[in-house]
Amino acid sequence: MASRGLIARRDCPDGLTLALLSPWRREVADRLAARQKDRPAKQRPIDMLREQRWDGPPPPPPPYELPDPVRALLLPHLSWLRTPLLRLLLTTDRTSEVMCATTRLDRLLAAVDNGDRSHTEKGLAFWDSVGAQLRAALGSDRTAWAAVAERLPWHKGSLRELIDGLGEPTRSRCRPPDLRVLVQAPPELLPSLVAGLDDEALARGAEACAGRRGIRTGHALLATALSRLEAGGVPPRPLFARWARDGLYSWNGEIAGAGWLYGLDGALDEQLDRRALTDAGLRRLNSARLPQQPRAEDLATWLRAHPGPLQAQLSLDSEGGGSTPWDELVEAHNTLPLPNSVLWVLAARPGCPAALLQVLSGEGRHHHLSDLASQGPECARIALTRLSESAPVSHHTSAGTSRPTIHAVRSARFLDDRTTLATARPATAALLYGRDLPAGAPDGDAWSRLCGEHLTSASRRFGPGFWQLLARRLPTFEGTLPELLAPAPGDATISALHAYAQDDPEPAGASRLCALLDRHESQVRAAVAHLYDDAQTPPAPGVTDRRAASGWLDAELTTLLALARAATTVRPEFTVSLPALPSPYLDSPDRIAELIPLTALAQRAAARIGDRHGEAVAWATAGLAMSRIRRYEEATAVLERARALIGTSSDLERQARINHHLGRALRSLCRGRKAAVAFREAVALFERTGHEQELREAASDLTRLTERMASRPPG
């Protein structure tokens, strides 16, 4: 029982897992499947009327994958593992090795068939692997393909045994060829294979995909099968149309792939007609199958009399020269509005006037924005500018109502990502679209990277207070992201601060810069004060509690370096004091390195104005940061320089701390005698200042070092 409990944990080390599996025990190995059941705790429900939700739910944990050593140990026993563990071994990129390892193809196929819709990709990868191995072994042997399609789903051996035994008579009853195997045949062989089967045999062979007792991933397998039948040039049959009607009804995107079956089933034709209203490619495909129409004398009158999307497409395509009489159609529309279906056909034609496009995106048709965006470049621009009309800006924080529209524009590739981001309004919709993209989504990283470039560039250009101002403007801003990030009148940017710092600043420029520095200094002090549990500091703008303070500091630290450089000329004392402001916040292993570039600027500013004490403090802060990240050689040199600078001052407390930090750095470098000297000086100085706690720490370090040196053999 202990072995089964330990091996089911995700944090069980690989070495222990291998030990628990030796000697082999199937009941222990089957518990590995429990590792894929880890789920995050249920979230607290959020009252959307009381608070705005800017942060979405945490992303789900990545699907668990078995380590390679564990997989290698399981593969020889593959055929006798339970179904959940078989599905865990099946991954989209390593299906071939599972296929080669199994000796019970029927059990592996059952594990694939019993998966839910979350295993659709695994099922498709499984059949792709089967098809690749069969095509390599059978080639264009029509008889062999027909035999393997009949036997594979029921074969109780390995795939290699099945292929080698195709010439032997089968003992089982005659079964119809399985459609999933049949469509794996080479495309040039498919027409002859299907031509030799009647509708009854094909229907029985497709029960796993299109039958009443079909598997849960059958819709994806059916869509793949129909697309391969079309690609192979198999003549359409009413049976195929019924499969598409029954199996793909709820999958609006997949139903468009059944356009080659148009005219074979009335119910399917109705679905395709509804889809063709907004799908230009499907509309052109299906209209080409209709009888050609003579050129209409009065095009607008003919379109009103035949408002169907296919008839309208056919009539417009029959216009001489391929041109569209836009002036005539606009005048007719102004006299009497054209039918909605006709407007959709016109929207997908090049050169469609804006007057007609605005009608489709106007009042009462908001739910068509994603469809409008897929018609053409101009339609995409109009749809992106009307995202805020589909719902108030505040609704974008919860529902992501604009996500389908942006997705349609990117999928159609009418506009590049930079143009899409610069056109979409409000900016909230563009940012939340990137936030809600699932992990591993195509081009998801490109969108997030582009948004990050805009925000990072703006934060560096703007300077102190950028993130606070952004958080205040974003919830109600109706413009695009570039408009949101553009400086408003009165906003001072980092580029302006650099200009003030490079030249001799005018009185107005200097006062403006100093005012910004004062504001940033007070804001940093307020944020740092809120990090302590017993903080009594009143809320500052943008900082109301500990979480807000930490978030504000995370964002604002990106502008500190530029701010320090800009202040070097106008107010160098601000640059000298800047490292001490966020030091309580940066005093953690993952942030301490941020202090080093700040202290370098502070040291140069202090040296420029002759502030030896400030220069020593900057060197000491840099040395402490280097010690924390284990750069002891550099820390020793920096701290010795700080000690030399501070030695003539009356700041005994600072002298004591520098000596204490120097002693610890030297101790880490195994320089015991020099470390002991530094510790003794620190103890003597702490005794004079009366700092009892630090005195005890320095004395303890000195005692431990002395004992360790005494215990070593001489020499």
Look up the pTM and report it.
Answer: 0.60
Tokens of 259: 């356009």
Report which of residues 368 and 130 the model is more confident about. 130
Contacts of 484 (CB under 8 A, 6+ apart): 427, 470, 473, 474, 477
Q: What is the predicted pLDDT for the residue at 568? A: 76
Using the predicted structure, report yes or no on whether residue 44 has a pLDDT greater than 70.
no
Predicted confidence band of residue 60 (pLDDT cuts 50, 70, 90): low
Q: Would you list the domain boundaries of the chain?
A: 322-478, 492-591, 611-715
Contacts of 427 (CB under 8 A, 6+ apart): 474, 477, 479, 480, 481, 483, 484
Predicted confidence band of residue 559 (pLDDT cuts 50, 70, 90): low
Alpha carbon of residue 35 to chain centroid? 24
Q: What is the predicted pLDDT for the residue at 48? A: 36
Predicted confidence band of residue 235 (pLDDT cuts 50, 70, 90): very high
Q: What is the predicted pLDDT for the residue at 510? A: 57
Q: What is the mean pLDDT of residues 69-85?
A: 88
What is the spatial distance between Cα 16 and Cα 13, in angstroms, rounded to a whole number?
5
Range ranked top by mean pLDDT from 192-201, 292-301, 345-354, 451-460: 192-201
Q: Is the dihedral of CA 610, 614, 618, 623 positive or negative?
A: positive
Report CA-CA distances (Å) from 389 to 125, 362, 365: 42, 9, 10
Q: What is the mean pLDDT of residues 206-235?
A: 85
In three-state secondary structure terms, 84 is: helix
Count of CB atoms situated within 10 Å of the CB of 196: 11
Q: What is the mean pLDDT of residues 99-116?
A: 87
What is the spatial distance between Cα 332 and Cα 430, in angstroms, rounded to a whole number?
37
Interval 493-527: pLDDT, tens: 655 555 554 444 444 445 666 777 777 777 777 77
Using the predicted structure, report yes or no on whether residue 127 has a pLDDT greater than 90.
yes
Residue 207, amino acid: E
Contacts of 4 (CB under 8 A, 6+ apart): 27, 28, 31
Q: What percent of the chain has pLDDT over 70?
A: 82
Contacts of 359 (CB under 8 A, 6+ apart): 333, 337, 343
Q: Using N-to-C axis directions, what is the helix angle for 120-138 and 218-231, rounded to 10°?
A: 40
Using the predicted structure, report yes or no on whether residue 49 has a pLDDT greater than 50.
no
Residue (of 467, 515, 518) closest to 492 by Cα position: 515
Instruction: Assess whether the previous peptide bond of 579 is cis (omega < 30° from 0).
Output: no
Across-strand partners of 540? 543
Residue 57 burial (10 A CB sphere; 0-12, 13-18, 19+)? exposed
What is the spatial distance between Cα 407 and Cα 144, in angstroms, rounded to a whole number?
44
Longest dimension (CA), the chain: 113
Report which of residues 178 and 396 the model is more confident about. 178
Q: What is the predicted pLDDT for the residue at 256? A: 66
Interval 361-373: pLDDT, tens: 664 444 467 888 8
Output DSSP code: residue 650.
Answer: S
Q: What is the predicted pLDDT for the residue at 144? A: 92
Range ranked top by mean pLDDT from 36-50, 83-97, 430-444: 83-97
Contact present, 7 and 85 (Cβ < 8 Å): no
Residue 97 burial (10 A CB sphere; 0-12, 13-18, 19+)? middle
Residue (of 344, 393, 384, 390) closest to 363 by Cα position: 390
Using the predicted structure, report yes or no on whether residue 133 has a pLDDT greater than 90.
yes
Q: What is the mean pLDDT of residues 262-276?
A: 85
Q: What is the predicted pLDDT for the residue at 186? A: 94
Q: What is the predicted pLDDT for the residue at 139? A: 92
What is the spatial distance between Cα 59 and Cα 43, in angstroms, rounded to a whole number?
12
Predicted confidence band of residue 327 (pLDDT cuts 50, 70, 90): confident
CATH 3.30.1490.20 given to domain 611-715: no
Q: What is the predicted pLDDT for the residue at 506? A: 47
Interval 437-473: pLDDT, tens: 776 666 777 888 898 889 888 877 776 667 767 877 7
